[in-house]
Amino acid sequence: MAAIETERQEPPRPAFYNDPVVRGLFYQFVVGALVIAFIFWIVQNAAVNLAAQNKTTGFDFLWKTAGFGISFSLFPFDRTSFYWEAFLVGLTNTLLVAVIGVILATLLGFTIGIARLSSNWIIARLATVYIETIRNIPLLLQLFFWYFAVLKAMPAVRDSLALPFDMFINQRGLYVPKPLPDEQFFWVYIALALALAASVMISRWAKRQLEATGQRFPVFIVSAAIIVGLTAVVWIVSGASMDFDPPVLNRFNFRGGIELPPEFVALAFGLVIYTAAFIAETVRGGILAVSHGQTEAAQSLGLKDGDRLRLVIVPQAMRVIIPPLTSQYLNLTKNSSLGAAIGYPELVNVFTGTTLNQTGRAIEVIALTMAVYLTFSLTTSAVMNWYNARVALVER
């Protein structure tokens, strides 16, 4: 019986229009061309219609005098400033509330999330009530509540509530003395920076020491001693002095000091309270996603309670927590645009509100504003993705 000769042969080449590679390229080309044509059509159409409506267009307005005032800005702004400066005021005000909001919401969110898993019945219930209440009321309503309800409860300017250390609180905001460091303070800053660097090095050394010998080193106490001690010694030796410019009541309001307007406080407060509820749920989910076996394994290794959380549970939970946490950060940043409703001069209020109306350049202003939020969001995403890649499970 002769063996059946099977000859391996190349499959017949398909016609070029059936070639998957050619087809793939073709479809990509078609999609690309359609997208470009669509964008071109939109731009063209907008230009034609704007011309037909006799509207002036272009970004030249950015270099014209704004002519309006802004109640709260991180740098000087008045009616003689330019529109691009108004844009910058809006942008920095948005950034300010977003950064402070993200930091505080993270702290509060982690606390509440862990509290909800607490074995203490009352603490766990309280956390649940907080989360369920806050998550299920629209943010805009909450902002109105914090702004108008809290504003009403505050004393009028002449009956300002005096707090310790020359601080005052009234309907116009919170006033704290402004620190006025003198020139010698330069050395204190340097000492502080050195002390911080030293404490970072100590904690790294202590970690290596622990891994190598099992010896523990009291990192926290030593670091704190260095930071406080070194700074204090340099402060005294250099003769640096810190003056304070306290707020003083004028005819209408306080002058001097640092002023935090109620719009800012209400917006930051509302955003933190709201976003923390979502972060808390994310944290809870992340911790629950680590199987109980990990805890038991850590216990059987003899790890202390704190080390068990820090070295075993949290690193694994972070993998689950980071992606949704990023979304919450993005939400908080974008939600800050609701500040326009309660008079906080952030980007939407100052730029798409006042500027758009005074200049009538709707498309330009909206496009710039969208570009800003897009940049904020992509930057946040990039940073969080980088962090996520660091904590992600490395498969070996």
Partner 1 sequence: MSKKIISFALAATLGLTATTAYADILSDVKAKGYLQCGVTGGVAGFSAPDSSNNWSGLEVDFCRAMAAAIFNDSEKVRYTPLTSQERFTALSAGEIDILSRTTTWTMSRDTQLGINFVGTMFYDGQGFMVRKADGIASAKDLSGAAICIESGTTTELNAADYFAANGMEFNAVVFVDQDEVVKAYEDGRCDVYTTDSSALASERSKFANPDDHLILPEIISKEPLGPVVRQGDDLWFNIARWTYFALLEAEELGVTQANVDEQLGSDNPAIKRLLGVEGDFGTPIGLTKDWAYQIVKHIGNYGESYERHVGPSTPIGLARGLNALWRDGGIQYSPPIR
Residue from 203, 295, 316, 337 binding partner 1 (CB under 8 A): 337
Residue from 114, 167, 314, 363 binding partner 1 (CB under 8 A): 363
Does position 345 interact with partner 1 (CB under 8 A)? The reply is yes
Cβ of residue 163: shortest distance to partner 1, in angstroms?
19
x/- string (CB under 8 A) for partner 1, residues 97-136?
----------------------------------------
First to last CA, the chain: 51
Residue from 6, 54, 213, 215 binding partner 1 (CB under 8 A): 54
Task: Measure the CA angle with vertex 67, ends 62 and 71; round to 5°.
Answer: 100
**Residue 26: phi, psi to the nearest 5?**
-60, -50
CB within 8 Å of 285: residues ≥ 6 apart? 320, 321, 324
* CA 109 to chain CA centroid, nearest Å: 13
Q: Give CA–CA dist 145/290, Å, rounded.
A: 38
The position carrying tokens 């790294």 is: 204
Residue from 2, 10, 16, 152 binding partner 1 (CB under 8 A): 152
Task: Measure the CA angle with vertex 275, ends 273 and 280; round to 5°.
Answer: 95
The position carrying tokens 């030249």 is: 60
Stretch that binds partner 1, among 1-9, 22-30, 70-78, 223-231 (CB under 8 A): 70-78
80 vs 300 by CB, closer to partner 1:
80
x/- string (CB under 8 A) for partner 1, residues 230-269?
--------------------xxxx-x-----xxx------
> Exposed, middle or buried by CB within 10 Å (0-12, 13-18, 19+), for 217?
middle
Residue from 140, 180, 193, 389 binding partner 1 (CB under 8 A): 140
x/- string (CB under 8 A) for partner 1, residues 25-44?
-----------------x--
Angle between helices 83-116 and 121-135 (to 10 degrees): 150
Joined together, the tokens standing for residue 391 give 């904590």
Residues in touch with partner 1 (CB under 8 A) = 42, 45-46, 49-50, 52-56, 67-71, 78-80, 140, 148, 151-152, 154, 156, 171-172, 250-253, 255, 261-263, 337-338, 340-343, 345, 348-349, 352-354, 356-358, 360, 362-363, 366
